[in-house]
Amino acid sequence: MKYDVIIAGAGPSGCMAALAAARLGAKVLLIEKNAYPGGSNTAGMVCPLMTFHSGNKQIVRGIAQEVIDRLAEKGATLGHIPDPLGVTSTITPIEPSGLRLVYFEMLAQQPNITLLLHSFLYDAEMVSGTVTRVTVVGKDGTASYRAKTFIDATGDGDLAALCHVGFDKGRTSDGYTQPMSMIFKVGGIDFATVIAYIRQNPEQFILHKGYTQLEKYLVVSGFFDIVKLAKAHGDFNIPRDRILFFQGLHPGEAFINTSRIIKLSGISAQDQSIAEKEAAWQVEELMSFFQKYVPGFESCYLAAIADMSGVRESRRIHGICTLTVGDVYEERASDEGVAVCAFPIDIHDPAGADLQWMRRKQDFCYDIPYGVMVPRKTDNLLVTGRCISATHEALASARISATAMALGQAAGTAAYLALIQKVGFERLDVALLQQELRRQGAIPTKVDLR
C-alpha cells in the first residue's frame, strides 16, 4: 500500500502534521519508536508548553489550541497563564500523562491515520532527490513503507540524514549542543514553606516583578546560595548554578528541570547510554540535595522519572532557507511565514553551568519562513519541529513545544497541498499554504495578529 504522507516521529510536531494532513483527506502513516505519541512532552515529561502568546496576542492557535482545550476537558492543564519568571508571556502547565491520552484520542478520530508504534525508522531510499520508501524495525523484524511525500518529525532529523541531507550540529565554536536533561516529578513538597522562603529571599530568585500569585502557580529558577553551599559540601556536582522547577497540577508536585548532561550527543547510542547513566546518578543526587537543603522539600519523594533524557538539540538540517539569530532578535516578519514564535533565545550552556536568555522585550515575536522546513536537494521531503534549518542560537528559541506544534501543522498542510498541486516542496505556492493555515485557524505570520 502507498501512503500519501509518511511522518517519522509522533512528537508534538509529528502529531500536528499527521492531523493536519489527514483532516484535509491525505492517507497518513505516522511512525513512532516509543509506545505512545507526544515525544518530549510525554516520554520526556517536558512541561509546561511554551509559548502560545506574545504579550496578550495568541500567536499559536489551530490544532495546538485544540490539544489544550481537550486537556482542559480532562483536567490535565491549567490553560495559558502568565509566565511567573517573565521569560516569556504565557506558559501552559500540563500533565504529560493526560497529553498522551489526548494525542491517542485525536489521532484515533482520524481513520486515515495509521499510527505505527514500537517502530524505529532506520533506513530510507532516495532516487534522484525523491524519497521512495522508509524502513522501520520492530519486534517482528523490518518493514518498508512507500509514500508520495515524507515528513521528518523525529526532532533529530533522522530521516533527512538517512536521505543524505546535510546538517549542522552544535555551536560553531566547538560543536557542542545544548545539554540533555532528565526531567523527574517530585511529590510531597510543602509549597507554603517554599513560597515563604522566596518572599524572604527574593534576591535568590529570578521572578517577574509583576508576578505576585505564587500561591496560584509556582515556577522556581534560583536558590543560588543554597546550590553554592551544597556545592561547597560536595553535595551538588551537577553543572548548574540553580534549581529550575515547575509546579505540577496536583498538590505537592513539581517537575524538576535541573539535571544537566553536557558534551554528549543526542544522536549517538553510545553517548546516550552514558547520558542515561549520568542522568540516573543526577536524579539520586538531586533528591538527596532537595531533602537535605531546600526549605519545603524535607519530606519530598520521587514520584516519576521521564522515560528518557530530553535532547534539546541535535541535527539542524540544511534547508533552502535558514533561521538566524538576526531573524529572532530583530523580530523579522517574512512573506513566507508559516508559524510565529515568541520564545526568547534560551541557551543552556553546552559545556558548563550557565543559562542565557536573550530577547529585546517580553512581547516580541517573529515569523518562521516555510523554507526552513524544506531540505536542500530533495523533492518530496519536509522536516519540521526541532530539526528545522536554523543556527544554534536561533534554534534555542524556535525549538520550543508550541512552536513545534505550529510548524507541524504547517508541514502536514504543505504535504497535502504539494500532493494536490503535484509539485515538489521547493515549488509549493506558499501564499496558498498561508491561506489554508488561516482557514484552519492557525497563525502563519505576524501580519495575522493585527
Among residues 4 and 346, whose Cβ is nearest to ligand FAD?
A: 346
* DSSP class per residue in 189-201: --HHHHHHHHHH-
Closest approach, Cβ 297 to ligand FAD, in A, equals 20
Which residues, in sequence order, are CB contacts of 370 under 8 Å at separation 6+? 321, 336, 337, 338, 410, 414, 428, 430, 433
Shortest distance, position 116 Cβ to ligand FAD, whole Å: 9
The smaller minimum CB distance to ligand FAD, of residues 358 and 423, is found at 358
User: Using an 8 Å Cβ cutoff, are 180 and 261 in contact?
Assistant: yes
Give me the residue label for grid cell 499510527: 115
| Cβ-based nearer residue to ligand FAD, 339 or 423 | 339
* Element housing 386 (H / E): none
Question: Nearest residue to ligand FAD, using CB?
Answer: 11
CB 312, min distance to ligand FAD, A: 4
Three cell numbers at 97?
500523562
Other Cβ atoms less than 10 A from the Cβ of 71: the count is: 23
CB 236 within 8 A of CB 285: yes
d(CA 318, CA 141): 32
In the complex, what is the shortest distance from the CB of residue 399 to ligand FAD, in angstroms, rounded to a whole number?
A: 4
In this complex, which beta carbon is closest to ligand FAD, that of residue 81 or of residue 447? 81
- Please check whether residue 15 is in contact with residue 37, taking contact to mean a CB–CB distance below 8 angstroms: yes
| Cβ distance to ligand FAD smaller for residue 9 or 98 | 9
Task: Kindly report the number of other CB atoms within 10 A of residue 79's CB atom.
Answer: 13
- Tell me the DSSP string of 45-60: ---SB--SEETTEE--
Shortest CB 192 distance to ligand FAD, Å: 25
Instruction: Considering the complex, state which of residue 122 and residue 233 has its C-beta at the smaller distance from ligand FAD.
Output: 122
Based on CB atoms, which residue is closest to ligand FAD, 310 or 375? 310
Return the SS3 of 230: helix
Q: Residues in the site for ligand FAD, rule: CB under 6 A?
A: 8-14, 31-34, 39-41, 44, 46, 48-50, 120-121, 153-156, 158, 181, 257, 310-312, 385-386, 399-401, 404
CB of 429 to ligand FAD, least distance (A): 25
Kindly tell me which of 190 and 256 has the beta carbon lying closer to ligand FAD.
Answer: 256
Residues 6+ apart with CB under 8 A from 126: 132, 163, 164, 378
Do 327 and 396 contact (CB within 8 A), yes or no?
no
Q: 179 burial class (0-12, 13-18, 19+ CB within 10 angstroms)? A: buried
β-pair type (113-116, 28-31): parallel
Write down the least CB distance from residue 28 to ligand FAD, Å.
Answer: 15
Taking the C-alpha atoms of residue 237 and residue 223, their distance in angstroms, rounded to an integer, is: 15
CB nearer to ligand FAD: pick between 193 and 369: 369
Name, in order, each residue with C-beta under 8 angstroms of 37's C-beta and a sequence gap of 6 or more.
10, 11, 14, 15, 30, 100, 103, 104, 107, 115
**Closest CB 49 distance from ligand FAD, rounded Å:** 5
For the CB of residue 425, give the shortest distance to ligand FAD in the complex, in Å: 18
Judge whether 71 and 98 are in contact, CB under 8 Å.
yes
Shortest Cβ distance from residue 92 to ligand FAD (Å)?
A: 8
For residue 178, the minimal CB distance to ligand FAD (Å) is 8
Q: Which is nearer to ligand FAD, 97 or 201 (CB)?
A: 97
C-alpha cell at 149: 511525500
Closer to ligand FAD by Cβ: residue 242 or 386: 386
